[in-house]
């Protein structure tokens, strides 16, 4: 990205309001830059189409979770579709991305969209987010296994939440749908919502980023009787890594 464009994004010009032109969030209020593919309706078309087919197009009153919400494209889309009788919970640990998520929630006056500046995980407490490149990149992630901090990373102290705890406390409803795209930490997030999955049997869309993540997610969802099929084909030959998958009970 050119310095000139970065300067534009950093300025208030990036906050110019626009409408989402197409896709699952069509008609929603949005901001101009960065990630213009969101409002243009061209971001992850296969995933958007799969979410648009939920409930045969009618998910009014549903409870939905968006793990790895980034700027809130799917969070806002789901909230508009479930309506005030529904509930959407969005989880985004990156503070810069979370600020834009919150802006989009307010722009669309979605009081039933609950936003959490936190990472979904298998435990609640303090955690560390490793960032590389631009602050609002989607590549920021919790540390992988024995991963060492690479050159150029600027770790951020964040909060982690076990989502079953939020359900047990009555803060959130169990989900009927969840999108999980958390840069390699999906198996931990799924483990932390195992009880809610077993109880509510939600449909899930999961994006995979590592073999460990694939194995961990299948280890939880397989015994619960889930079947799965690709939405977007994997990028790693012979595995599910790099793909987006629909899981149904």
pLDDT, tens digit (0-9, with 9 covering 90-100), for 202-248: 999 999 999 999 999 999 999 999 999 999 999 988 899 999 999 99
Q: Which domain holds residue 210?
A: 43-248
Residue 195 lies in a domain: yes
Residue 211 lies in a domain: yes
Query: Which ranges of the chain would DSSP assign to H, the alpha helix?
Result: 3-10, 36-40, 45-52, 73-82, 95-107, 163-168, 186-191, 194-200, 211-221
Instruction: Give the pLDDT score at 9.
Output: 53
Instruction: Give the pLDDT score at 87.
Output: 98
Instruction: Give the pLDDT score at 13.
Output: 79
Residue 23 lies in a domain: no
- The CATH number given to whatever domain includes residue 117 is 3.40.50.150
Residue 35 lies in a domain: no
Q: Which whole number is the average pLDDT over 18-43?
A: 96
CA–CA distance, 65 with 171 (Å, rounded to integer):
13
Q: Which whole number is the average pLDDT over 151-160?
A: 79
Which of 11-20, 82-91, 134-143 is modeled with the greatest confidence? 82-91
Instruction: Give the pLDDT score at 4.
Output: 60
Share of the chain above pLDDT 90, in %: 78
Instruction: Give the pLDDT score at 138.
Output: 60
Cβ neighbours for 171, distance < 8 A, ≥ 6 positions apart: none
Residue 10 lies in a domain: no
Q: Which whole number is the average pLDDT over 18-34?
A: 97
**Overall number of domains in the chain:** 1
Instruction: Give the pLDDT score at 53.
Output: 97
Residue 38 lies in a domain: no
Q: Are strands 156-161 and 125-130 parallel, antiparallel or unpaired?
A: antiparallel
Share of the chain above pLDDT 70, in %: 87
**pLDDT > 60? residue 29:** yes
Residue 193 lies in a domain: yes
Which pTM was predicted?
A: 0.90
Instruction: Give the pLDDT score at 77.
Output: 98
Q: Comparing C-alpha atoms, which of 65, 177, 73, 168 is closest to residue 120?
A: 65
Residue 201 lies in a domain: yes
Instruction: Give the pLDDT score at 127.
Output: 81
């Amino acid at each position: 990205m050119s310095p000139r464009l970065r300067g534009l994004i950093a300025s208030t010009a990036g906050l110019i309001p626009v409408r989402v032109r197409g896709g699952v969030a069509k008609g929603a209020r949005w901001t101009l830059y960065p990630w213009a593919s969101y409002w243009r309706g061209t971001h992850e078309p296969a995933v958007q189409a799969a979410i648009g087919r939920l409930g045969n197009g009618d998910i009014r009153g549903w409870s939905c979770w968006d793990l790895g919400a980034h700027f809130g494209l799917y969070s806002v889309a789901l909230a508009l579709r479930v309506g005030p009788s529904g509930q959407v919970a969005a989880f985004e640990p990156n503070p810069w991305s979370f600020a834009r998520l919150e802006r989009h929630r307010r722009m669309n006056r979605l009081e039933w969209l609950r936003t959490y500046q936190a990472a979904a995980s298998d435990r609640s407490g303090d955690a560390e987010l490793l960032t590389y490149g631009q602050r609002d990149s989607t590549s920021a992630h919790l540390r992988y296994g024995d991963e060492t901090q690479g050159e150029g990373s600027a770790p951020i102290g964040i909060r982690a939440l076990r989502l079953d705890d939020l359900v047990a406390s009555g803060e959130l409803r169990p989900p009927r749908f969840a999108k999980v795209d958390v840069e390699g930490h999906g198996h931990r997030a799924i483990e932390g919502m195992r009880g809610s999955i077993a109880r509510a049997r939600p449909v899930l869309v999961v994006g995979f980023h590592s073999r460990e993540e694939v194995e961990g997610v299948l280890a939880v969802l397989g015994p619960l009787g889930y079947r799965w099929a690709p939405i977007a084909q994997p990028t790693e030959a012979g595995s599910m890594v790099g793909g987006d998958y629909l899981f149904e009970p």
